[in-house]
Structures are given as C-alpha cells and as structure tokens.
C-alpha cells in the first residue's frame, strides 16, 4: 500500500498513548485500533473497577474509529486479552 494512503490516528479527545505507538491507523478502507485499556481521556488515568475499565476501553476505541469516519459496528474482529480471565465474566 502506498504510504500516502496510511494515516496515523490521534484524535484530540482521545487518551494519550502510554508508549511510542499510535492509537489507531487507517490504511485505505481499513482502520486498526489496538491496545485500548480503560483509561479516562479527561485524566489519562485508569478508571477504578473492572466493568468501568471495559466500558471505557470501548468508548476509547469508538473515539478513534469515529475520527477516521467509521463505527464500531464496522468491526470485523475483536481480540480481548486479560491477565485474569475471571475479570471478564463467568463462563
């Protein structure tokens, strides 16, 4: 893909990355968002409880995807990584 079709996403109302990476990348018609945690963009700190963190992670993903003209409804793949699977919910 030509480099001129790759856009690094950093919406002004999103969190500040916690490392040397972009919050998202748009490559042609594809938007990639990775590594979202439950960080409140207003304070750039982790929110308090597990459920609130999951909700905030989705809100943060939504901010990045919307900035690129997309929607979470357009998602085709979602991977969840957790150090403790019991934090996600009962199976």
Q: Block means of pLDDT (10 residues each) for the chain, length 91 residues?
A: 80 87 90 87 90 91 92 85 62 50
Q: Which pLDDT score is estimated for 56?
A: 93
pTM for the complete prediction? Answer: 0.79
DSSP reduced 3-state for 78:
coil
Q: Is the dihedral of CA 35, 57, 73, 68 positive or negative?
A: negative
> Which tens digits make up the pLDDT trace of 13-27?
999 887 888 899 999
Q: Are 59 and 42 in contact (CB under 8 A)?
A: no
Q: Which pLDDT score is estimated for 88?
A: 58
In angstroms, the Cα distances linking 22 to 4, 15, 25, 31, 64 are: 17, 11, 7, 12, 10
Q: Which pLDDT score is estimated for 34?
A: 81
In angstroms, the Cα distances linking 25 to 46, 51, 81 are: 23, 27, 20
Domains and CATH numbers, the chain: 3-80 (3.30.1330.40)
């Amino acid at each position: 893909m030509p480099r001129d079709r790759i856009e690094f996403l950093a919406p002004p109302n999103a969190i500040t990355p916690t490392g040397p990476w972009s919050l998202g990348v748009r490559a042609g018609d594809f938007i990639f968002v990775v590594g979202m945690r439950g960080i409140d963009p207003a304070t750039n700190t982790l929110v308090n409880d597990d459920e609130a963190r999951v909700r905030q992670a989705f809100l943060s993903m939504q901010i990045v995807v919307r900035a690129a003209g997309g929607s979470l409804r357009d998602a085709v793949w979602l991977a969840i990584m957790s150090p403790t699977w019991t934090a996600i919910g009962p199976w």
